[in-house]
């Protein structure tokens, strides 16, 4: 595996992770959340991730495992790995308290509402929120890195989708941190740095798996990535997209994301 492939995959994962800083900036400088745009954008991100997971990533994993283990065994391992990826991300969400879960999205205007409820508990909430997003972004980092390592063009599409998904996370993280510390700089720094857990997760995962990397390990990992991305889309992106705006807007964004992903995959056949 070439060094430039690894560096490109790491760079894309870094870009996706650090987009939490964009959300933090929006929280501090925007007067009001553009809910219609955010609804379409989150729907678009879900569309990209759902389409690429089922049409490309899952199919690639199944093809790889079938060639290594045989058609029947490969199919069973692919499905098991797919739902295993879903289980991993579901368990992570389960152990994070709902109040500190970065996927409990907030609007920019809720900053003013929370200001009247300042207490010592906000420090705990702020730190737990930063910790929560750090833990949660580990598997997302592995997903982005693995896809980019296999196909840089695919990695770019997933990076864009994950980045869009991370922007409202940055808002959710920075709001309690800001009112816990009274410092916009510290809130931005923690929100921004929490995104480093994505490339960190990618590096740790890569170093652990590198000695064992073969077609079977790659196929299992790729199928698990498809499961992780499906869970994120169905459990986080689509419900948040519908909550932020009109229901139809999220669906229009979803279909648009699928169309863009489909065309981009066809262009690189």
Q: Which residues are annotated as a binding site for Zn(2+)?
A: 140, 165, 169
DSSP state of 52: I
**Total number of residues shown for the chain:** 269
E strand segments, the chain? none
Phi, psi for 32 (deg, rounded to 5): -150, 145
- Residue 11 near residue 145, CB atoms below 8 Å: no
Tokens of 175: 């709001």
Residue 194, C-beta contacts closer than 8 angstroms, at least 6 positions apart: 20, 130, 133, 134, 137, 173
Identify the sign of the CA torsion 157, 1, 134, 51: positive
Distance, CA of 204 to CA of 234 (rounded, Å): 27
- Residue 135 near residue 103, CB atoms below 8 Å: no
Distance, CA of 6 to CA of 52 (rounded, Å): 21
Binding residues: 137, 140, 165-166, 169, 198
Distance, CA of 115 to CA of 207 (rounded, Å): 43
What secondary structure does DSSP assign to 187-210, as a single string?
Answer: HHHHHHHHTTHHHHHHHHHHHHHG
Binding residues for Fe(2+): 137, 140, 166, 169, 198
């Amino acid at each position: 595996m070439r060094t430039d492939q690894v560096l490109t995959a790491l760079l894309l994962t870094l870009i996706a992770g650090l987009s939490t800083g964009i959300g933090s900036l929006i929280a501090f400088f925007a007067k009001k959340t553009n809910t219609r745009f955010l609804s379409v954008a989150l729907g678009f991100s879900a569309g990209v991730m759902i389409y690429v997971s089922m049409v490309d990533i899952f199919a690639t994993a199944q093809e790889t495992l079938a060639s290594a283990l045989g058609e029947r065994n490969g199919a069973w391992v692919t499905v098991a790995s797919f739902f295993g990826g879903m289980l991993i991300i579901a368990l992570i969400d389960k152990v994070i308290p709902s109040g500190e879960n970065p996927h409990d999205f907030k609007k920019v205007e809720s900053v003013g509402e929370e200001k009247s409820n300042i207490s010592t508990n906000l420090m705990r909430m702020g730190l737990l929120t930063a910790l929560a997003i750090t833990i949660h972004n580990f598997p997302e980092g592995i997903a982005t890195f693995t896809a980019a390592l296999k196909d840089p063009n695919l990695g770019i599409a997933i990076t864009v989708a994950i980045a869009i998904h991370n922007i409202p996370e940055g808002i959710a993280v920075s709001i309690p941190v800001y009112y816990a510390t009274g410092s916009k700089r510290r809130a931005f720094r923690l929100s921004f740095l929490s995104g480093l857990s994505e490339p960190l997760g990618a590096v740790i995962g890569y170093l652990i798996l590198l000695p064992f990397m073969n077609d079977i390990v790659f196929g299992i990992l790729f199928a698990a990535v498809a499961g992780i991305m499906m869970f994120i889309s169905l459990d986080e992106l689509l419900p948040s997209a519908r909550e932020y705006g009109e229901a139809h807007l999220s669906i229009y964004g979803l279909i648009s994301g699928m169309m863009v992903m489909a065309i981009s995959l066809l262009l690189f056949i």
